[in-house]
Amino acid sequence: MTVPREMPEKWRRVRGPGGSEEERRVRANAREYNEKFQYASNCIKTSKYNIVTFLPVNLFEQFQEVANTYFLFLLILQLIPQISSLSWFTTIVPLVLVLTITAVKDATDDYFRHKSDNQVNNRQSQVLISGVLRQEQWMNVRVGDIIKLENNQFVAADLLLLSSSEPHGLCYIETAELDGETNMKVRQAIPVTSELGDTSKLARFDGEVICEPPNNKLDKFGGTLYWKENKYPLSNQNMLLRGCVLRNTEWCFGLVIFAGPDTKLMQNSGRTKFKRTSIDRLMNTLVLWIFGFLVCMGVILAIGNAIWEHEVGVCFQIYLPWDEGVHSAFFSGFLSFWSYIIILNTVVPISLYVSVEVIRLGHSYFINWDKKMYCAKRRTPAEARTTTLNEELGQVEYIFSDKTGTLTQNIMVFSKCSVNGHSYGDMQDVLGHKAELRERPEPVDFSFNPLADPRFQFWDPSLLEAVNLGDPHVHEFFRLLSLCHTVMSEEKSEGELYYKAQSPDEGALVTAARNFGFVFQSRTPKTITVHELGRAITYQLLAILDFNNIRKRMSVIVRSPEGKIRLYCKGADTILLERLHPINQDLTNVTTDHLNEYAGEGLRTLVLAYKDLEESYYEDWSKRLHRAGSAPEAREDHLARLYDEVEHDMMLLGATAIEDKLQQGVPETIAILTLANIKIWVLTGDKQETAVNIGYSCKMLTDDMTEVFVVTGHTVLEVREELRKAREKMMDASRSMGNGFSYQEKLSSSKFTSVLEAIAGEYALVINGHSLAHALEADMEVEFLETACACKAVICCRVTPLQKAQVVELVKKYKKAVTLAIGDGANDVSMIKTAHIGVGISGQEGIQAVLASDYSFSQFKFLQRLLLVHGRWSYLRMCKFLCYFFYKNFAFTMVHFWFGFFCGFSAQTVYDQYFITLYNIVYTSLPVLAMGIFDQDVPEQRSMEYPKLYEPGQLNLLFNKREFFICIAQGIYTSVLMFFIPYGIFADATRDDGAQLADYQSFAVTVATSLVIVVSVQIGLDTGFWTAINHFFIWGSLATYFAILFAMHSNGLFQMFPNQFRFVGNAQNTLAQPTVWLTIALTTVVCIMPVVAFRFLKLDLKPELSDTVRYTQLVRKKQKTQHRCMRRVGRVGSSRSGYAFSHQEGFGELIMSGKNMRLSSLALSSFATRPSTGWIETLRKKKGSDGSTSGSPSGTADKTLKV
């Protein structure tokens, strides 16, 4: 079949009515043809602005802040001379300052995004143009181009693999950037193009591909290649996706199908979202309320002005004439309304937003400078990549974490094994007793073996002794490990073997056999050569019974040099133990105990078995296998039945235990965060068994849990039924424990969160990707969320990047909780962008996650410090700052309101214009900044030690609508006393010389001085952590106030600016009067004493947890902290399989076909051992007692919450 060179009309419609692409047509080596379809270029863009759009887009975003729009409106009012009682510069200068600071910050952030984009877009790639390979930048690659990739290069776009250096068009890729899996995967060109190995043939290649439009499905691709009168089906096995890395393949050629934003990697990335904190959103609401309050005050004063002018002012027209254009009392009141709106606008000064940005910037620098979050090994500091989300770090309720590279190092280590009922692998001292972790002896010496891998370490010498003594069971154990696998080997130089394994676990097992003297040397399609204790033996490979997720095991059938046929099998204990011969019962019981012990330590386990086959039986079975393999229909079913037949009545050899090394401190971090009432969900692209094993290793899952629910349904009905059964079991267990409510009652609750939290017991939920796809549908998402939120731990396996984002979005939508997503690969980018806070791990899988994140560091354990120290402090500081700021500004502004009733509602200000301008910029700005940047309630050690201190942020207790009203009530109370005490005293007071004390300027100076002193004393009370900077700013601000006050009333300024500073000597004369100082003292005491009394009673009668912690800190100040070593307690039994196969499909069929017998390879990752941590189990059990004390954190809280 030939595709016509001119497109028929029906083929021109590759785009739907809405502009969406319906199918893609790509012709090789034909740029002009492909350009007709206007496909996207390979240039990517993650930035938000360019030079042209920056100013309008950024201003649009900034004026989404209600306050900025509010201040712009005030500025316009101040430009109208009839109503302006203050100069316009008092608003425009701070407004421009705020907009400029924010714009510079946003421009800086976007500059780094542009820099990152340019770095990727300018990578070099070899493109075949006019028969010649030319170096081109990635952004210049076009759909339809043929490009050449070399070993270890990133794939530039989504390619159709045409040919490679390996036999039969094979190539190997690593997909960590896409799905988080670091095990190699195989891709193969279709046979008709696999022979196009040189550029001259490829230059003449003019095939055309018709395929699906761009989409985000990583594991599916459908299309057809039309070439030379034929058509060839294409699948995902023929595709190399952008973000993959070419491994162990010298070169390959590919045809670009999708480029740039159309690639599956970018389709899964999600859009850059504008993130705001909950405090920002609350402040927008409060500003609207304050504006409403401001309008109400303006209306009251305007009505007062109209009445006063109508009743009183009209009688004084000779002395107080109305302004030009004012002809009635009503119009005078109307103008007075706008004048008071301007005067009273300081209830929300623009300096608030400048201060907020400065405080956030300071918090960001503290994160960047934190040496305890610096990784010396990688020379990577923590980095706050945004400055707008710091306080939200103190309010996180849900953490969504990737697994591979985030929780784990993705390094597999052969840790322990059980052979013929004997367990090996425990560290022993010189006397042969089990050694403690801190007494680690020297590792086993493998120097006798010239082919040993020097990176492999094992700590139990008795296993090597058994090998040397010729124990037949141990020999057979390692013989199985050296034969039953799909590993490829390469000998770079004599004695230097390199293994290429499809999964790290398989590599670890073959390496273990290698070091103990059973060295897998090489293989052909029909043979395997092993060096057994220095002697080369070649086994005939008769069959490979490959691994898949249903079988959960793999087997090989080999013929020894003596002619004996034997089947070797390894697989999950739940599968293999039921396939053993009954004669193995006693050995099975002992091995099961060992498996439970290993699984209890979080190790990944496999069971090993063998079976001898009669020649006649094998011949018959082999013929049936050949017929099944060539069956036109149900081939897989026929093969599965034959595999199942031969893998019965096997003899048990033993079991292996592999440690998937967690990152340092992961179990402790998860336990501490759990005690802080943070829920952790693991979203991984890895298989279920692997994810569950890691769940046990990091103590998310424990055997103390009531039940672990596994949802694996393939249909909507199956998933719904499994979720329903899970909820019913939880409710039944809860009723049996005497909670006394029904499930129907719970579901009828308007807020299902409280219902679910009332369920007794600890549960976990494990759900697969195909089941999650149904669970996330609109009619089932609430059921899924209810079930998941009732569980202590949730693990989602085999999920796509888009599903990760959908899970995060689901929790954001219904729970109204702050979410944090953490990951290290490109497959985590969408999740990171969707969550309120995105954290990138700068690890093994590139920097895509870091570039998309809000915060980044190198190890998961730093998350604990980021949240419990920096996050909690940032939230605490911001809340205290806001409470104080609203208080001081209401106290300042409301004096004008009270004064209005005594000045004929004339919009006369109490203070002079310079005091109004300088109050928020100079007199009170630095002390509150110092508190907002440096304040602490408890030291950082106590923040980590008492995770319950984190809960006020989650419950939003420190700044909410209630706290806001308390602050403004205190501010109004202060303003009343601030005005009426001096007013009442001045009514009858006299000077020392007997003259009347009361005059406008003296009153203004007294009120202003009282105000500055009262708010300075108040911030002293609010400051919980005093530094030299706090002292300097508070006392310095007071000194500055008096210096400026005396300067403005000095003779020198009057002589220079006689029209501006007319009241010479007023401050000196006023403050020289004892009556004035007594008035100031009385005002200060009356304003402050109720606050002091309330706080004293609250501290004594109902202390918060932070108060209790501070008290215990004072009591224990001279005591040294006692560190206790908790010993790990092993499990008695386990109901799970610790299965240690992380790859999905084996290479068995490929090996037997002989297609991959010439390979180049690189060394596997180094292996190192690490002792598991067990003390966290005890820590987690304390959570119940922690919760019981959170409601009344009295003196006993220290006993129950001390971790």
Q: Catalytic amino acids?
A: 402
Q: Are 251 and 150 in contact (CB under 8 A)?
A: yes
b (16+ CB within 10 A) / e for 1110-1134: bebeeeeeeeeeeeeeeeeeeeeeb
Instruction: Write down the residue that tokens 């393949």 correspond to.
Output: 249
Q: Which of 580, 600, 592, 605 lies closest to 656 in space, CA to CA?
A: 605
Q: Which of 386, 387, 394, 330 lies closest to 359 in space, CA to CA?
A: 387
- Round to whole Å and give the CA distance between 114 and 118: 6
Helix, strand, coil shares, percent, the chain, to 5? 50, 15, 35
* Beta carbons within 8 Å of 682's beta carbon, 6+ residues apart: 400, 401, 402, 403, 407, 691, 694, 695, 700, 793, 794, 795, 796
Q: Are 849 and 243 in contact (CB under 8 A)?
A: no
- 608 is written with which tokens? 């090993």
Q: Are 975 and 895 in contact (CB under 8 A)?
A: yes
From the number of C-beta atoms within 10 Å of its C-beta (0-12, 13-18, 19+), residue 835 rates as buried
Give Cα 787 to chain centroid, integer Å: 22
CA angle at residue 357 from 351 to 359, to 5 degrees? 100
Sheet (strand 124-129) strand order: 132-137, 124-129, 146-150, 251-258, 158-164, 239-240
Query: How many CA atoms lie within 13 Å of 1048's alpha carbon, on the beta-carbon side?
Result: 15
Q: Which of 715, 799, 790, 713 lies closest to 756 in space, CA to CA?
A: 790
- Round to whole Å and give the CA distance between 612 and 618: 10
Count of Cβ atoms closer than 10 Å to residue 724 Cβ: 12
What would the 3-class secondary structure string for 484-537 be?
CCCCEEEEEECCEEEEECCCHHHHHHHHHHHHCCEEEEEECCCEEEEEECCEEE
CA angle at residue 632 from 628 to 638, to 5 degrees? 30
Q: Looking at the DSSP assignment, which residues form a beta bridge with residue 227? A: 230
Q: Are 390 and 964 in contact (CB under 8 A)?
A: no
- Round to whole Å and give the CA distance between 921 and 370: 30
What are the two backbone dihedrals, phi and then psi, of residue 25, each rounded to the nearest 5 degrees? -120, 125
Kindly give the pairing relationship between strand 208-211 and strand 223-227: antiparallel
- Round to whole Å and give the CA distance between 109 and 385: 7
Kindly give the pairing relationship between strand 230-234 and strand 223-227: antiparallel
Provide the residue type at 895 as one letter: V
Which DSSP state fits 182? Answer: -
Q: Are 876 and 942 in contact (CB under 8 A)?
A: no
Q: Which of 967, 1049, 970 lies closest to 1008 in space, CA to CA?
A: 1049
Q: Are 1167 and 410 in contact (CB under 8 A)?
A: no
Instruction: Write down the residue that tokens 């692998």 correspond to.
Output: 425
- Round to whole Å and give the CA distance between 109 and 123: 22
